[in-house]
């Protein structure tokens, strides 16, 4: 099984696609609106601990320092 993303430019094409789905030749899945949130949730569930505000600030400052040294 392969997955494709298709932009439908003509309403007639949408009807053809719906007809194919009615014949069980294809399956239509609507993309979830919160795809990014799901990815974050997965990543956070695997993390052992969340960084504190101080750790995040320290990391941001390190990156900024390295960026402006160049």
Indicate the domain borders of the chain: 11-69
pLDDT at 36: 83
C-alpha span between 30 and 33 (Å, rounded)? 9
Note whether 28 and 18 are within 8 A (CB): yes
DSSP structure class, residue 3: -
pTM (whole model) above 0.75: no
Structure tokens at 16: 């053809």
Q: Which of these, 42, 49, 2, lies nearest to 26 by C-alpha position?
A: 2
**Chain segment 9-40, per-residue pLDDT in tens:** 999 999 999 999 999 999 998 877 777 888 88
CB contact set of 55 (below 8 Å; sequence gap of 6+):
none
């Amino acid at each position: 099984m392969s997955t494709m993303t298709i932009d439908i430019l003509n309403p007639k094409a949408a009807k053809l696609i719906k007809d194919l789905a009615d014949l069980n030749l294809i399956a239509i899945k609507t993309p979830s609106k919160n795809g990014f949130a799901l990815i974050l949730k997965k990543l956070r569930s695997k993390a052992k601990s969340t960084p504190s505000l101080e750790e995040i600030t320290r990391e941001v400052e390190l990156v900024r320092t390295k960026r402006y040294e160049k």
